[in-house]
């Protein structure tokens, strides 16, 4: 292992750089040396204290402290915890444990080798159970949590599956026979439109939500990894193909047929998904957090069901993502942090992510909330693919500056599939030329 000596002047440079970019408040002091009570570690959480996941974790931290005598200095930092980690990596004030979606972690600390390989954690026995962490998690989620070299940079504790949501109480026919192919789906949408309803909901001001549609359609026609490969190609040669054309045309037709609810391009999130929950639109393509996020606006009789994004004849994978723990390389208390990871994987504690926070966990033996039964069945039965085919994580700059704006124009009917192909080919060539 290469030992990196961090010189003080570089810490100053790092600090100064952070200040320059206007984030003077980024680093938060936390690593006080507690002393007498023995071991302790610092955890920068992606949750805010009021969120259900934070409550579940806080409860586990309490019992962990009682059971092991290890003190956990937890900071409920919210979603920019990894940004703060990045700023802290060149200081002495680095947390021992962080959590986030896999691509946020990999984007920040994997490419630059700033993580600790957690393979050892997988071999640890789960406190209170007869099996190891690796046994409990299986290798189903390794595609999200391992590097190309097979190192585990993440131990997942929450799974997100992306599926098309609808109210089964309002649409019993769909519930009985959910569409599996794009043609079936198109027929359902046409029927809904003909009946005077709004077939689709989409908060278009979140470019990432719009991207789910196009990215998944491309994965369906090209296979998992196909969209990723298209974007990685500096010549952008792959866009002009029958497969991409099929996917993009299908997406363009959604706008051309006015399937999206009026105002989807000019509202503020979460206005449109709220309308969907209130029955003003039929389908919403969203992660498995959809029921918790929209529940308070839905009628009591609203019955959350969902089906997999329809197939174009080939790929039937379920787009997914995981949230998990990671340990930054400079962490002083990696051992204690690892111990907590294994401790939290206990079915009773991890089960709270399902029973209290209403989300899916990576353990197949934990009961899931009723609302997530469909998507859980898909998680268990289907091959998984990365949401946005991994493009958001691996090519984030290209994604937000080139793909997402063009995709939004495609999905608002401003450009056709052909125009999209022509524009993205040039824009992608220019982008990569500029990167060189």
Instruction: Please report, as ranges, the residues that interact with other proteins according to CB under 8 A.
Output: 13-14, 16-17, 19-24, 79-80, 83, 86-87, 89-90, 103-104, 107-109, 111-114, 205-208, 262-263, 265-269, 271, 392-393, 396-397, 399-401, 404-405, 408-409, 412, 414, 427, 430, 433-435
What φ, ψ does residue 380 adopt, rounded to 5°?
Answer: -75, -40
The number of beta carbons lying within 10 Å of the beta carbon of residue 245 is: 16
CB nearer to other proteins: pick between 112 and 180: 112
Please check whether residue 244 is in contact with residue 213, taking contact to mean a CB–CB distance below 8 angstroms. no
CA dist., res. 237 & res. 425, Å (int)? 7
CB nearer to other proteins: pick between 371 and 388: 388
CB nearer to other proteins: pick between 65 and 80: 80
CA dist., res. 159 & res. 376, Å (int)? 9
Least separation in angstroms between CB 317 and other proteins: 21
CB nearer to other proteins: pick between 225 and 413: 413
Please name the residues in contact with 121: beta carbons below 8 A apart, sequence gap of 6 or more: 133, 152, 155, 338, 341, 342
Please check whether residue 395 is in contact with residue 413, taking contact to mean a CB–CB distance below 8 angstroms. no
CB nearer to other proteins: pick between 17 and 299: 17
Helices (H), 233-367: 242-256, 271-277, 290-294, 334-344, 347-355
| Cα separation values, 357 from 25, 177, 269, 285, 325, Å | 30, 30, 22, 21, 17
CA dist., res. 189 & res. 194, Å (int)? 9
Least separation in angstroms between CB 274 and other proteins: 11
Which pair of tokens denotes residue 271? 């206005």
Least separation in angstroms between CB 185 and other proteins: 25
Give CA 27 to chain center in angstroms: 25
Least separation in angstroms between CB 413 and other proteins: 11
Please count the CA atoms within 13 angstroms of the CA of 179 that sit on its side-chain side.
Answer: 22
Three-state DSSP at 162 gives strand
What φ, ψ does residue 285 adopt, rounded to 5°?
Answer: -90, 110
CA dist., res. 44 & res. 95, Å (int)? 6
CB nearer to other proteins: pick between 103 and 312: 103
CB nearer to other proteins: pick between 77 and 376: 77
Least separation in angstroms between CB 14 and other proteins: 7
Least separation in angstroms between CB 36 and other proteins: 34
Least separation in angstroms between CB 34 and other proteins: 28
CA dist., res. 56 & res. 349, Å (int)? 8
Least separation in angstroms between CB 263 and other proteins: 3
Please check whether residue 213 is in contact with residue 296, taking contact to mean a CB–CB distance below 8 angstroms. no
CB nearer to other proteins: pick between 291 and 393: 393
CB nearer to other proteins: pick between 207 and 377: 207
DSSP 4: P
Least separation in angstroms between CB 50 and other proteins: 14
CB nearer to other proteins: pick between 78 and 223: 78
Which pair of tokens denotes residue 73? 């200095």
CA dist., res. 123 & res. 126, Å (int)? 9
Least separation in angstroms between CB 253 and other proteins: 20
């Amino acid at each position: 292992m290469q030992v990196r000596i961090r010189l003080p002047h570089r810490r100053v440079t790092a600090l100064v750089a952070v200040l320059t970019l206007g984030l003077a408040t980024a680093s938060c002091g936390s690593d006080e040396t507690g002393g007498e009570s023995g071991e302790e570690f610092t955890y920068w959480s992606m949750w805010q204290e009021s969120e259900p996941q934070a409550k579940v974790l806080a409860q586990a931290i309490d019992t962990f402290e009682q059971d092991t005598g290890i003190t956990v200095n937890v900071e409920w930092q919210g979603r920019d915890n990894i940004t703060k980690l990045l700023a802290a990596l060149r200081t002495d004030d680095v947390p021992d444990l962080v959590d986030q979606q896999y691509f946020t972690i990999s984007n920040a600390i994997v490419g630059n080798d700033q993580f600790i390989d957690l393979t050892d954690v997988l071999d640890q026995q789960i406190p209170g159970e007869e099996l190891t962490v690796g046994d409990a998690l299986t290798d189903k989620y390794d595609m999200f949590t391992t590097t190309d070299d097979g190192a585990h940079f993440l131990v997942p504790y929450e799974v997100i599956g992306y599926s098309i949501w609808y109210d089964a109480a309002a649409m019993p026919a769909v519930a009985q026979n959910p569409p599996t192919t794009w043609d079936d789906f198109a027929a359902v949408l046409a029927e809904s439109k003909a009946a005077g309803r709004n077939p689709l909901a989409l908060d278009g001001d979140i470019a990432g939500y719009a991207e789910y549609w196009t990215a998944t359609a491309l994965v369906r026609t090209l296979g998992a990894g196909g969209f990723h490969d298209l974007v990685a190609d500096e010549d952008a040669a792959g866009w002009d193909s029958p497969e991409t054309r099929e996917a993009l045309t299908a997406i363009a037709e959604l706008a051309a047929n006015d399937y999206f609810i009026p105002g989807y391009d000019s509202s503020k999130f979460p206005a449109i998904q709220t309308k969907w929950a209130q029955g003003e639109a039929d389908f919403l393509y969203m992660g498995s957090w959809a029921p918790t996020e929209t529940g308070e606006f839905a009628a009591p009789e609203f019955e959350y069901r969902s089906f997999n994004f329809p197939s174009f004849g080939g790929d039937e994978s379920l787009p997914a993502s995981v949230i998990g723990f990671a340990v930054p390389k400079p962490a002083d208390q990696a051992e204690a942090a690892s111990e907590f990871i294994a401790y939290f994987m206990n079915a009773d504690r991890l089960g709270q992510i399902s029973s209290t926070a209403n989300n899916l966990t990576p353990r197949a033996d934990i009961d899931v909330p009723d609302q997530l039964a469909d998507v859980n069945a898909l998680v268990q039965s289907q091959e998984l693919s990365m949401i946005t085919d991994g493009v958001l994580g691996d090519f984030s700059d290209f994604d937000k500056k080139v793909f997402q704006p063009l995709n939004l124009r495609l999905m608002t009917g401003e450009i056709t599939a052909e125009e999209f192909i022509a524009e993205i080919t040039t824009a992608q060539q220019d982008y990569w030329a500029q990167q060189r």
